[in-house]
Amino acid sequence: MQVQEYKVSLLGEKRIGKTRFVKKLYGNYTEEAIYKPTIGVEVTPIDINGNEGKIRVSIWDNSGDERYRGLKEQYHINSTLVIILKSNNENYKQYESEVPQNTPVIYLNANENKSVEEYKTIIYNALINN
């Protein structure tokens, strides 16, 4: 059976925890805290199982730093979904303008520590319903 593949863009201000989020989903989050700014974009494949079968999600983890983001919206070409990671301020709004028209957005709070399974279910449902 062929596995359905989706591209998902991840946005949010620098240091908010985008790369940490992807590492948790992928399973390479380490005990030791290390901060390494993402340059441009890093793509990680995450497999998710759900009611409609297994899907493969390529998460495009974008740098939150303008200096490393010359291409911006071009990173979102063919994205089925955009995830904006936010905290309790309004800085996330600056990323809304680069979301392509008609692409659904889900907002996740970086301070909210849901389990990996919960996050995978949220992403799965957002993709399967679109």
Q: What is the b/e burial string over 78-102, where b = at least 16 CB atoms within 10 angstroms of the residue's CB?
A: ebebbbbbbeeeeebeebeebbeee
C-alpha span between 119 and 113 (Å, rounded)? 9
Residue 17 touches which of Mg ion, ligand GDP, none (CB < 5 to 8 A by kind)?
Answer: ligand GDP
Q: CA-CA distance, 71 to 89, in Å (whole number)?
A: 25
Residues 90-119 that bind ligand GDP (CB under 6 A): none
Residues 58-87 as x/- pattern, contact with ligand GDP by CB under 6 A: ------x-----------------------
Q: Which of 5, 15, 71, 114 binds ligand GDP (CB under 6 A)?
A: 15
- Exposure on the CB side of residue 47, measured as CA atoms within 13 A: 5
CB of 48 to ligand GDP, least distance (A): 20
| Interaction of residue 33 with ligand GDP, rule CB under 6 A | yes
18 binds ligand GDP (CB under 6 A): yes
Q: Are 98 and 24 in contact (CB under 8 A)?
A: no
For residue 17, state whether it binds ligand GDP (rule: CB under 6 A). Answer: yes
Helix axes 18-26, 116-128, angle to 10 degrees: 100
Count of chain residues binding ligand GDP (CB under 6 A)? 18
- Write out the residues near ligand GDP by the rule CB under 6 A: 12, 14-20, 23, 29-35, 38, 64
